[in-house]
């Protein structure tokens, strides 16, 4: 009989939150995959959004939890540079199965080789698991786009993607000025600690005017907006310089709900400035397999390797604002907090196997 475990996901089409305990088989690695015994994971907004969308047509039950850190317990025949016993961080395919477990269960997930990277000994499983999806999102948006000396505006610098993006721009990519914004003292402080040179309170400051003042009226060379918020999109588009770049995470303006399209002024604003509109959407690599070509695989591979390297060197380090032990109730509460917005700084980490994760084996609510 095939081995199974009790994961956390959904058992009914278009179920949304709350998620449930779901019995799923331990997956077998394909030729280009590794099988990971999961020590830790983390939470991402995409997970509750996919649950609401019926997981792109997958037949339930489906286990969620795409960020992975743990120990390799199996490898496909095409994997020659990772072996059983290696400690890794990885991201599961976004149209595949995840690694969360109901309380007390051992969890397993597979990841393709180009989405897995060897974990440095100095980096704990919990912090390694806080990186993959958010780091890759920031990396895809900024790496190769930020030029040394650029003025870069990253709203939401206290968020899961935002605080990593601020660190990346300021500490690795040599941006000349990194500007961020937040809506609470805690978010503003995290953005500042992440390396932003100027952090504004979007509730009371005219951020576009402040950026104009910092740049002699030109505006930001590049804006990276990972807020998933229509109001933010319209405001941040006004901060881009003529001929600059506005990079947005996800499906972008007018489609933030993923199920309904609304009118957005963003493209008109950008057209008036001759600015580029660039979408970064990791999900498309898996929902439209033709996009996951050699160039995309190389980008994701380099991103995962950079995540481990830069974190070990203290350059781009995840801020874990909350740590929970994996279980149906704790994961539902964490995802509900992400969906409500504004209450989580940095990342919510999920300890799946406490015995392997001494850096975070407790619940914090």
Distance in angstroms (rounded) separating the CA atoms of residues 151 and 220: 5
In this structure, the answer to whether residues 152 and 276 fall within a common structural domain is yes
Share of the chain above pLDDT 70, in %: 96
Residue 356: the pLDDT is 80
pLDDT tens-digit profile of 288-330?
A: 989 999 999 999 999 999 999 999 999 999 999 999 999 999 9
Distance in angstroms (rounded) separating the CA atoms of residues 52 and 353: 27
Residue 57: the pLDDT is 73
CATH code for the domain in which residue 155 is found: 3.40.50.720
Residue 155: pLDDT above 80?
A: yes
Q: Report if residue 226 sits inside a domain.
A: yes
Q: How many domains does the chain have?
A: 2
In this structure, the answer to whether residues 93 and 116 fall within a common structural domain is yes
Over residues 17-31, the mean pLDDT reads 94
Q: How confident is the model at residue 12 (pLDDT cuts 50, 70, 90)?
A: confident
In this structure, the answer to whether residues 123 and 31 fall within a common structural domain is yes
In this structure, the answer to whether residues 267 and 307 fall within a common structural domain is no
| Angle at the Cα of 320 from the Cα atoms of 42 and 159, rounded to 5 degrees | 85
Q: How confident is the model at residue 362 (pLDDT cuts 50, 70, 90)?
A: very low
In this structure, the answer to whether residues 11 and 103 fall within a common structural domain is yes
pLDDT tens-digit profile of 93-112?
A: 998 889 999 988 899 999 99
In this structure, the answer to whether residues 78 and 114 fall within a common structural domain is yes
Task: Name the average pLDDT for the chain.
Answer: 93
Distance in angstroms (rounded) separating the CA atoms of residues 138 and 161: 6
pLDDT tens-digit profile of 258-298?
A: 566 788 999 999 999 999 999 999 999 998 989 999 999 99
In this structure, the answer to whether residues 278 and 142 fall within a common structural domain is yes
Range of the domain at 89: 4-130+294-356
In this structure, the answer to whether residues 96 and 207 fall within a common structural domain is no
Going by their DSSP bridges, the two strands 108-112 and 240-249 should be labelled as unpaired
In this structure, the answer to whether residues 245 and 259 fall within a common structural domain is yes
In this structure, the answer to whether residues 159 and 242 fall within a common structural domain is yes
CB 282 within 8 A of CB 94: yes
CATH code for the domain in which residue 66 is found: 3.90.180.10
Q: Report if residue 288 sits inside a domain.
A: no
Q: Report if residue 365 sits inside a domain.
A: no
């Amino acid at each position: 009989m095939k081995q199974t475990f009790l994961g956390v996901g959904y058992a009914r089409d278009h179920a949304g939150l709350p998620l449930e305990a779901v019995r799923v088989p331990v997956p077998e690695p394909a030729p280009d995959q590794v099988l990971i015994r999961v020590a830790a994971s983390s939470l991402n907004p995409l997970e509750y959004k996919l649950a609401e969308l019926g997981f792109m047509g997958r037949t339930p039950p489906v286990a969620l939890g795409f960020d992975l850190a743990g120990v390799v317990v199996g490898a496909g025949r095409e994997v020659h540079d990772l072996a059983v016993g290696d400690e890794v961080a990885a991201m599961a395919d976004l149209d595949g199965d995840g690694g969360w477990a109901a309380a007390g269960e051992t969890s397993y997930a597979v990841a393709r080789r180009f989405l897995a990277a060897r974990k440095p000994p100095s980096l704990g499983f919990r912090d390694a698991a806080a990186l993959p999806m958010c780091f890759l999102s920031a990396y895809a948006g900024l790496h190769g786009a930020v030029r040394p000396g650029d003025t870069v505006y990253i709203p939401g610098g206290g968020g899961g993607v935002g605080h990593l993006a601020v660190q990346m721009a300021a500490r690795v990519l040599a941006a000349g000025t990194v500007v961020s914004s937040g809506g609470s003292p805690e978010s503003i402080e995290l953005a500042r600690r992440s390396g932003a040179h100027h952090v504004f309170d979007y509730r009371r400051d005219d951020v576009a005017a402040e950026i104009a003042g910092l740049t002699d009226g030109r505006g930001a060379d590049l804006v990276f907006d990972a807020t998933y918020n229509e109001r933010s999109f319209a405001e941040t588009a006004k901060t881009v310089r003529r001929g600059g770049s506005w990079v947005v995470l996800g499906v972008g303006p007018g489609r933030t709900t993923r199920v309904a399209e609304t009118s957005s002024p963003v493209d008109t604003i950008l057209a008036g400035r001759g600015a580029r509109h660039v979408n970064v959407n990791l999900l498309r690599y898996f929902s439209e397999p033709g996009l996951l070509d050699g160039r995309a695989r190389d980008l994701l591979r380099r991103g995962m390797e950079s995540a481990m390297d830069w974190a070990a060197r203290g350059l781009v380090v995840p801020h874990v604002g909350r740590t929970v032990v994996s279980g149906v109730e704790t994961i539902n509460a964490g995802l509900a907090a992400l969906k409500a917005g504004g209450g989580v700084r940095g990342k919510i980490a999920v300890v799946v196997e406490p015995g392997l994760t001494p850096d975070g084996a407790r619940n914090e609510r």
